[in-house]
Amino acid sequence: MNIKRVAVVGTGVIGASWVAYFLAQGLDVSATDPMPGAEEKLRNTVQRHWPTMEKLGLAAGASMDRLSFSADLETALKDADFVQENGPEREDLKIELFRRMDAALPEQVILASSSSGLLMSRVQAACRHPGRVVLGHPFNPPHMIPLVEVIGGEQTSPQAVQTAMEFYAAIGKRPIHPLKEVKGHIANRLQAALWREAFHLVEQGVATVSDIDTAIAYGPGLRWALMGPFLNLHLSGGDGGIRHMLDHLGPPIESWWADLGAPSITEELKQKITAGVQEELQQRQSSALEAERDRLLTGLIDAKAGSRTLP
């Protein structure tokens, strides 16, 4: 594996974040996006992320000057060793995009998608070389969050999955390999389960948007930032560990599952959630929240990286 030049296709929120991360890892990046003004917006975003990249640590040779941009897809793909795609979350557009990328590149170049929920078996359908198509789903923001979910479709080769896993690990990510293709993969399905009940509680008038955010941010979210749900349950079980916890709380947990809601995101619920978020924000600006989130995440990531105990 000798990946030195990455093509980033689509430079919205996720794509721009990937660009900053790849540059910080000392890679050459060729980016493309057909939207008017995309290059200027991308370079401004990378510049905004760069102080965070410096705090997290730059690799040898890392530089914003190693970014090139072309609005033309095929031009941007030239000489790429790896492709990170971040186009719109529409299956028909992804299929056509991957068909074009597949036609433009040698068959050994991995085509990875940041898709939040689409199946690679469908995305690779029009490719001449479907074996090199993989999911490389990051977690927002990719320039900070280590997780990447890597899985192939029905026609993806095991070697392509292995190469993608090795590449992401080599640049400091924490890749995981789901054992089966499912909509939403792993992390987004877990998020969706929480969102479902959060929306239900607001819909039913059980809690405000602010109270739900507080309940997670100052409750289980603090523990989840350090360890996952199973290890947290294990520690909650004391000397008996997770088996004692399941024996003790299994029936109550099942009763809570049975009582969970199944809301629909109606126009009324959209308005209720939006109003709740606006009330919670008050005079705070989203840009200030983002900056503070990144500052605190930097410290947390550094602390976790220095731990010799956490898995």
Q: Of 59, 73, 68, which Cα lies nearest the Cα of 111?
A: 73
Class (C level, CATH) for 187-305: mainly alpha
Task: Please give the model's pTM, rounded to 2 decimal places.
Answer: 0.92
Rounded CA-CA distance 144/18 in Å is 9
CA 44/CA 49 separation, integer angstroms: 9
pLDDT in tens, 242-266: 999 999 999 999 999 999 999 999 9
Cα–Cα distance, 109 to 9 (Å, whole number)? 14
- Would you kindly state where each structural domain of the chain is located, as residue ranges? 5-176, 187-305
The CATH class that applies to domain 5-176 reads alpha beta
Whether 111 has a pLDDT exceeding 90, the answer reads yes
- Percent of the chain exceeding pLDDT 70 equals 100
89 pLDDT tier (thresholds 50, 70, 90): very high
pLDDT in tens, 277-286: 999 999 899 8
Please check the confidence at residue 271 and state whether its pLDDT lies above 70.
yes
Largest CA distance in the chain: 61
- In this prediction, residue 1 carries a pLDDT of 67
pLDDT in tens, 176-221: 999 999 999 999 999 999 999 999 999 999 999 999 999 999 999 9
